[in-house]
Amino acid sequence: MSNRITELLRNQVGDVWLRIVNHPFVTELFNGSLPLEKFRYYIVQDYNYLITLTRCQALIASKLENPAAMRRVLELALADVTTELENYNRLLNSLGLSIDDVVKTRPSPTNIAYMNFLLTTCALGSPYEAW
């Protein structure tokens, strides 16, 4: 059944999928031609997103009634704030950046808008709207 759902969804958004897969950033990243400065910029923006995602997961967990579901969301948040951020710390070091560099860098307006949307949805919506 899930294959049919996947196929149905893929067929409905096939044009969007192709635009994502063929986006210059993705293709340059894949073939190794993405300029290092663009990659650094992306990493700094994504780091800020991950911090926001962790906050969102905590908000979602706080609204769940089912302890097992709450635990699962908090486990995901813990994985993001530990494993993912540890990986980022190593990556930042290899790019000549530090956590201080990331924290001092203001996220882009687009990233701020997206993070605010996520936080607002998680804070004001139901846990299922947020998830």
What are 7's two structure tokens? 């196929």
Q: 42-71 in b/e burial notation, b at 16+ Cβ within 10 A?
A: ebbbbbbeebbbbbbbebbbebbeeeeebe
Number of Cα atoms under 13 Å in the Cβ half of residue 101: 13
Would you say residue 1 has pLDDT above 60?
no
Would you say residue 3 has pLDDT above 80?
no
Q: Name the strand (E) or helix (H) holding 70.
A: helix 67-79
Domain boundaries, the chain: 1-34, 35-130
**pLDDT tens per residue across span 99-120:** 888 989 999 999 999 999 999 9
Confidence of residue 21 (pLDDT cuts 50, 70, 90): very high
What are 90's two structure tokens? 């190593």
Please report the pLDDT score of residue 43 as a whole number: 94
Number of Cα atoms under 13 Å in the Cβ half of residue 106: 4
CATH 1.10.443.10 holds for 35-130 = no
Q: Which residue has the tokens 């701020």?
A: 112
Contacts of 115 (CB under 8 A, 6+ apart): 48, 49, 52, 107
- Among 128, 118, 123, smallest CA distance to 53 is for 118
